Amino acid sequence: MFGLGHPEIMRELEITDKQRQQFGEVMQEMQKKMEPVMKEAQKSGKPEEIRPKMMKIRKEHEDRIEALLSDAQKKQWKKMLGKPFDLGG
Protein backbone atom coordinates (compact mmCIF):
# COMPACT_ATOMS: atom_id res chain seq x y z
CA MET A 1 0.00 0.00 0.00
CA PHE A 2 2.84 2.38 0.73
CA GLY A 3 3.95 2.08 -2.89
CA LEU A 4 1.17 4.57 -3.57
CA GLY A 5 3.66 7.33 -2.83
CA HIS A 6 5.69 6.56 -5.96
CA PRO A 7 5.18 9.37 -8.54
CA GLU A 8 4.43 6.99 -11.43
CA ILE A 9 1.81 5.14 -9.40
CA MET A 10 0.24 8.39 -8.22
CA ARG A 11 0.01 9.54 -11.83
CA GLU A 12 -1.46 6.25 -13.03
CA LEU A 13 -4.10 6.26 -10.27
CA GLU A 14 -4.79 9.96 -10.83
CA ILE A 15 -4.20 10.76 -7.15
CA THR A 16 -5.48 14.23 -6.34
CA ASP A 17 -3.54 16.89 -4.44
CA LYS A 18 -6.03 16.50 -1.59
CA GLN A 19 -5.44 12.73 -1.44
CA ARG A 20 -1.68 13.32 -1.54
CA GLN A 21 -2.00 15.64 1.46
CA GLN A 22 -4.17 13.12 3.31
CA PHE A 23 -1.66 10.33 2.63
CA GLY A 24 1.08 12.53 4.09
CA GLU A 25 -0.96 13.16 7.23
CA VAL A 26 -1.59 9.44 7.71
CA MET A 27 2.12 8.69 7.22
CA GLN A 28 3.09 11.32 9.81
CA GLU A 29 0.66 9.81 12.32
CA MET A 30 2.10 6.36 11.65
CA GLN A 31 5.65 7.59 12.27
CA LYS A 32 4.56 9.22 15.55
CA LYS A 33 3.06 5.92 16.69
CA MET A 34 6.11 3.92 15.60
CA GLU A 35 8.73 6.12 17.32
CA PRO A 36 7.97 5.01 20.89
CA VAL A 37 7.79 1.39 19.77
CA MET A 38 11.23 1.71 18.13
CA LYS A 39 12.64 3.29 21.30
CA GLU A 40 11.16 0.44 23.32
CA ALA A 41 12.95 -2.04 21.06
CA GLN A 42 16.27 -0.23 21.46
CA LYS A 43 15.87 -0.06 25.23
CA SER A 44 14.85 -3.68 25.66
CA GLY A 45 17.44 -5.01 23.25
CA LYS A 46 14.78 -7.34 21.85
CA PRO A 47 13.60 -5.82 18.56
CA GLU A 48 11.92 -9.08 17.53
CA GLU A 49 9.35 -8.54 20.31
CA ILE A 50 8.11 -5.29 18.80
CA ARG A 51 7.66 -6.63 15.26
CA PRO A 52 3.98 -7.57 15.84
CA LYS A 53 3.29 -4.08 17.20
CA MET A 54 4.94 -2.46 14.20
CA MET A 55 3.02 -4.67 11.77
CA LYS A 56 -0.27 -3.79 13.50
CA ILE A 57 0.44 -0.04 13.29
CA ARG A 58 1.43 -0.38 9.64
CA LYS A 59 -1.69 -2.41 8.75
CA GLU A 60 -3.98 0.13 10.46
CA HIS A 61 -2.45 2.95 8.46
CA GLU A 62 -2.47 1.00 5.20
CA ASP A 63 -6.20 0.50 5.69
CA ARG A 64 -6.67 4.23 6.32
CA ILE A 65 -4.75 5.12 3.16
CA GLU A 66 -6.72 2.63 1.07
CA ALA A 67 -9.95 4.14 2.45
CA LEU A 68 -8.91 7.48 0.92
CA LEU A 69 -8.99 6.00 -2.59
CA SER A 70 -12.06 6.15 -4.80
CA ASP A 71 -13.58 2.84 -5.88
CA ALA A 72 -12.04 3.25 -9.35
CA GLN A 73 -8.61 3.95 -7.82
CA LYS A 74 -8.89 0.90 -5.53
CA LYS A 75 -9.78 -1.27 -8.51
CA GLN A 76 -6.84 0.07 -10.53
CA TRP A 77 -4.47 -0.33 -7.54
CA LYS A 78 -5.45 -3.98 -7.08
CA LYS A 79 -4.98 -4.54 -10.83
CA MET A 80 -1.51 -2.97 -10.62
CA LEU A 81 -0.60 -5.24 -7.71
CA GLY A 82 -1.58 -8.31 -9.67
CA LYS A 83 -2.87 -11.50 -8.19
CA PRO A 84 -1.99 -12.25 -4.55
CA PHE A 85 1.12 -14.36 -4.20
CA ASP A 86 0.26 -17.84 -2.96
CA LEU A 87 2.96 -19.50 -0.90
CA GLY A 88 0.93 -22.67 -0.65
CA GLY A 89 -0.50 -23.61 2.63
Domain 2-80, classified CATH 1.20.120, yes or no: yes
Domain boundaries, the chain: 2-80
Q: 69: phi > 0 → left, psi -120 to 50 → alpha, else beta; which?
A: beta
- Residue 9 CB partners (closer than 8 Å, separation 6+): 3, 80
Average pLDDT over residues 25-36: 93
Tens digits of residue pLDDT in 32-80: 999 998 888 888 877 778 889 889 999 999 899 889 999 999 898 888 8
Is pLDDT of 26 > 90? Answer: yes
- Report how far residue 78's alpha carbon sits from residue 57's, in angstroms, rounded to the nearest whole number: 22
- Report how far residue 30's alpha carbon sits from residue 57's, in angstroms, rounded to the nearest whole number: 7
Decide: helix, strand or coil at residue 13. Answer: coil
The radius of gyration computed from the CA coordinates of the chain, to the nearest angstrom, equals 16
Residue type, 35: E
pLDDT band of 82, cuts 50, 70, 90: confident
